[in-house]
Amino acid sequence: MTLLEAAEKLGLKPVAGQSRLSRELDQGYVSDLLSDVMANAKPGDIWVTLQIHQNIIAVATLKELAGIILIGGRQPEKQTLAKAEVEQVPILLTDLPAFEVVGRLYQLGITGRR
Amino acid sequence: MEIRVVEDIEADRMFIEIVDDGFGMDEERARRALDPFFTTKTVRRVGLGLPLLSEACRMSNGDMQIQSCPGKGTRVKATFQHSHIDRKPLGNIRDTLITVMTGHPQVDLLYEHRREDKVFSLDTREVKADLGDIPLDAPQVVSALRALIQSGLEELGAS
């Protein structure tokens, strides 16, 4: 499944990094603690978080994550969007809470095995 | 290098101040130090130390200020609301200090931690003077320092 297919199934709204939406997806990570993501996320993970500061783009780049889903109707800060465009890190928005997002991704076969 | 931690419970503030006498930064660099994609490292494209500290301050009703002067050094002052529910705990200060001291034994470090009316301080210049020829990172010295910091912080009731 690609990031774009998952986004369509969950009704996520891509707002940055459009060129990387065709990336294949099979694993994910959820955390709002950036140091934890740096320590435990794996390359290719889709990251589910409520953090909207530009630091998330640096973490996603450092860890080569597939993209970031911002939950609960949160909007990325202006600088976050700008950095995401430059780095082509996909950002996807949803009104759903994290638990719902992760549950629905899991149903699509995207797991969190480490 | 000097690291000062002040826990002012009455004013409900916590300060962490880090002062060095290193290269310093001009205004442009000091401003860009908050950009996570700005770094002087050559092995990686991102530098998250100051951006993460700044954001940690902001998330607990505080802020971070950088004062720097090329050729003189840099002063970083981080402020937090002490009681804020999202204020990150200080973490393991003892092991952090040991890492700093043994990782760069040539750098002099002053650590000062105030909590209300109590103070713990450790100055590696004094330790080095007492040690004479024995290096700061000798195993017996490290374990003595670890015990000293542990008991000092416990006496403060540091958080």
Asked whether the beta carbons of residue B52 and residue A83 sit closer than 8 angstroms, the reply is no
Q: What is the pLDDT of residue A114?
A: 82
Say if residue B40 is in the same domain as residue B98. Answer: no
Asked whether the beta carbons of residue A34 and residue B48 sit closer than 8 angstroms, the reply is yes
Q: What is the pLDDT of residue B107?
A: 94
CATH of A3-107, one of 1.10.150.120, 3.30.450.20, 3.30.1490.20, 3.40.1390.20: 3.40.1390.20
Count Cα atoms within 13 angstroms, Cβ side, for B124: 24
Mean residue pLDDT of chain B comes to 94
Say if residue B62 is in the same domain as residue B106. Answer: no
| CATH assignment at residue B34 | 3.30.565.10
Say if residue B75 is in the same domain as residue B3. Answer: yes
Say if residue B3 is in the same domain as residue B14. Answer: yes
Say if residue B96 is in the same domain as residue B75. Answer: no
Residue-wise pLDDT tens digits, B10-35: 999 999 999 999 999 999 999 999 99
A residues 2-41 closer than 8 Å to B (CB): 34-35, 38
Nearest chain B alpha carbon to A87: B37
Say if residue B71 is in the same domain as residue B106. Answer: no
SS3 B85: coil
SS3 A6: helix
**Global ipTM:** 0.83
Q: Which of B61, B87, B113 delimits the end of a domain?
A: B87
Residue-wise pLDDT tens digits, B108-131: 999 999 999 999 999 999 999 999
Q: What is the pLDDT of residue B19?
A: 98
Q: Length of chain A, please?
A: 114
Say if residue B11 is in the same domain as residue B58. Answer: yes
Residue-wise pLDDT tens digits, A59-107: 999 999 999 999 999 999 999 999 999 999 999 999 999 999 999 999 9
Q: Which of B87, B103, B119 delimits the end of a domain?
A: B87
Evaluate if residue B159 carries a pLDDT over 60: no
Say if residue B121 is in the same domain as residue B69. Answer: no
- pTM for the complete prediction? 0.88
Q: If we measure between CA atoms, which residue out of A8, A63, A79 comes closest to residue A31?
A: A63
Evaluate if residue B40 carries a pLDDT over 90: no
Percent of chain B with pLDDT over 90: 89
Say if residue B73 is in the same domain as residue B106. Answer: no
Say if residue B54 is in the same domain as residue B68. Answer: yes
Total domains in chain B come to 2
Domain of residue B25: give its range: 1-87
Numbers of helices and strands, H then E, in chain B: 5, 6
Residue A17 pLDDT grade (very low, low, confident, very high; cuts 50, 70, 90): very high
The alpha-carbon gap from B41 to the nearest alpha carbon of chain A, in Å, equals 14
List chain A domain ranges: 3-107
Q: What is the pLDDT of residue B113?
A: 97
A97 phi/psi in degrees, rounded to 5: -75, 160
